[in-house]
Amino acid sequence: MSDPSPSVDRRIRKSKVALKDALLTLMQTKEFKHISITDIVQLADLNRGTFYKHYAEKEELLEEIIDEVMKDLITSYRAPYESLTVFEVSKLTASAIKIFEHVATNANFYTLLGKSNILTGLQARVCNELSQLILQDISNRPLHTETNSKMLANYQAYAIWGMITVWIDSEFLYPSDYMAEQLLAILHQSSVNDTGSRG
Average pLDDT (12-26) is 96
Cα distances from 129 to residues 71, 105, 121, 133, in angstroms, run 10, 18, 13, 6
Distance CA 125, CA 113 (A): 11
Closest alpha carbon to 95 in 184, 188, 192, 187: 184
C-alpha radius of gyration, the chain, whole number: 20
Give the model's confidence band at 24: pLDDT under 50 very low, under 70 low, under 90 confident, else very high: very high
Return the percentage of the chain with pLDDT > 90, whole number: 52
Residue 25 has pLDDT above 90, yes or no: yes
Q: Please, which residues have CB within 8 angstroms of residue 62's CB and are 6 or more apart in sequence? A: 23, 32, 118
Query: Is residue 3 over pLDDT 60?
Result: no
- Dmax over CA atoms of the chain, in Å, equals 69
pLDDT in tens, 45-103: 999 999 999 999 999 999 999 999 999 999 998 887 766 555 555 567 778 889 999 99
The gap between the terminal CA atoms of the chain, to the nearest Å, is 69
pLDDT at residue number 199: 43
Residue predicted with more confidence, 193 or 38: 38
